Every structure is written in structure tokens, then in C-alpha cells.
Amino acid sequence: MPRRRDVDSQREQLSRAVWSVLAEQGLPGLTVRAVAERAGCTTGLVMHAFAGRHELLVHARRLLHERAAESADAAEAGAAGPAERLRAVLRQAACLTPAGRERARVRVAFLAAAAGDEELAAVHRQNNRVFVRRVERLLAEAAPDLPRAQREVRARSLVALVEGLNCLAAADPATYPARAQTAALDDAVRAATS
């Protein structure tokens, strides 16, 4: 029986491989064979950890959620005031950095698969709603007099803007560079908190 440390190490190695294959090759490139090649292992080892492509996608979405939550926590903790916390969380969710662009490519690939798969769509909805609730909370702190119904609409609009920018910038970074995304987010935060 393999030692626990070896199993954990293998799982981490496979996680990195799933993430990088999906980020670099998109949905068409995400195969058990591609993950095995990237991880430097056999397809049998990959199949031992993941029953197939569907499980690889669910795993990638879980990683995306975990990484996004960690980044959002750090952005929120490092910002000074309520509006700045909201702005910082939205900026970290956008693809303004190499890591953000990588997350955007993984997100787009996952959404492409989820469009035709109700189970994957449910995984996305669950994780996306966590982000919506965070933005609603931050918006309530930044604009405490805003009625709840308006806050909910504005929070969803902010999330939709970030997700739209991610999709567009993942495919066309020249038209949607970081400075354009930042300006759009800053304008939207000003409008949402006024």
C-alpha cells in the first residue's frame, strides 16, 4: 500500500497537470492521456484518481473555486475601505495578471463543457453563487443605504461584468487589456456604490 505522503504528492501532481492542460489547451485538449503526459505518469494512475474527463472537469472547477476564494480573501484583507475592498475583489477576479488570465481560460473551458452538462452547470452555479454573495456583502458595506433589491441587481451586474470581461479577454487580450478591464470595473464600482 502506498504511503499517504506519496498519494498526496501524486494527487497534487495530477491537480497541477489537470489545471495546466485545461488552461493551455482548453476543453478539446483535456484528455486523460494529456493529463498523464503532463504529470509524467501513466494513464492508469490518472484513471485511478479520476474516472474520466468529467471528473477532471469537476476537479478543475473545484481548484478554480479554491484559488479564486483564496485570491478574493487576500484582496479583501489587503484593501483599506469598503469600496476599495469591493474594487479589489472584483479586480482579482478579472484577468489582469498572468494568473488571472490562466483562471479565465480554465473558467471559459469549464463553462463550455457545462453548457451541455447539467451536473457541471450545477457545480458552476454553486461556486458562482458564493462569489455573488461575497459581492453582495461587499456592496452592502460600501453602499449601506442601498435597498436590498437594488443591491442584489447591482451585485449580479458586477459579477456579470467580471465574467464577461474574463471570457472576452481570454480570447482577445489585445482588445481587452488589463487597463481597459480595470477602467470598466472602476466605473462600475463607482456607479454601483452611488
pLDDT at 79 over 80: yes
Between the alpha carbon of residue 125 and those of residues 3, 65, 122, the distances in Å are 36, 11, 5
Cα 25 to Cα 22: distance, rounded to the nearest angstrom: 5
pLDDT digits (tens, 9 = 90+) for 92-111: 999 999 888 888 988 898 88
| Residue 167 domain boundaries | 61-193
Domain for residue 26, yes or no?
Answer: yes
State yes or no: pLDDT of 71 exceeds 80. Answer: yes
For residue range 6-20, list pLDDT tens digits in order.
667 887 888 889 889
Q: Would you state the pLDDT for residue 3?
A: 56
Specify if 118 maps to a domain: yes
**Residue 192, all three cell numbers:** 454601483
Count of domains for the chain: 2
| Whether residue 66 is found in the same domain as residue 126 | yes
Which distant-in-sequence residues (6+ apart) come within 8 Å of 155 by Cβ? 132, 135, 136, 139, 192
Residue bearing the bigger pLDDT, 65 or 146: 146
Whole-number Å distance between alpha carbons of 139 and 194: 11
First-to-last alpha carbon distance for the chain, in angstroms, is 61
How many alpha carbons fall within 13 Å on the CB side of residue 94?
A: 28
Longest dimension (CA), the chain: 61
CA 172, chain centre distance (Å): 18
CATH number, position 80? 1.10.357.10
Instruction: Specify whether 73 is located in the same domain as 137.
Output: yes
C-alpha distances (whole Å) from 180 to each of 25, 42, 70 are: 26, 43, 24
Same domain membership, residue 153 and residue 89: yes
